[in-house]
Amino acid sequence: MRVLVQRCRNANCKVNGKIVGEIDEGLMLLVGFTDTDNKDIILKMVNKIVNLRIFPDTNGVMNLSILESKGAILSISQFTLYADTSKGNRPSYIKAMNGDKAKLLYDYFNKCLSEYVCCKTGIFGANMEITLTNIGPTTVMLER
């Protein structure tokens, strides 16, 4: 499982020109799965994300989690996080989990996040347009 975490002032996801998910300050997540991922890995990743200290405290030091900052999450499915370009210039996505299995894990991931914070999503498998204002910029890659 790979999650690209971006601290943002705001973010939204459009499908066919219509906003389907939108947040103000918080985290925008790009989420990808591989065949060895399971619910236990998701629970560990959710714990890491909600406790990741990348929000500023009163001194401006990145010392607070999204739980403490009261932010929200926009979660976007992103199979291309598993792109392999080691052989040539055309990415291979063989390491990305099959769509049906990935959707089940993606839905479970978002359900688990929702137990801690407000979690909005894009539409799995859709052609999405993502807009965000990254703060910092603060971008962290998590992998399990």
Q: Please list the active-site residues.
A: 78-80
- Between CA 133 and CA 144 the distance in angstroms is 27
Between 39-51 and 99-114, two packed helices, what is the crossing angle to 10 degrees? Answer: 40
Backbone φ and ψ for 52, nearest 5 degrees, come out as: -65, 120
Q: Which one, of 72, 26, 53, 47, lies nearest residue 144 by Cα?
A: 47
- Between CA 94 and CA 81 the distance in angstroms is 11
Is residue 93 within 8 A of residue 79, CB to CB? The reply is yes
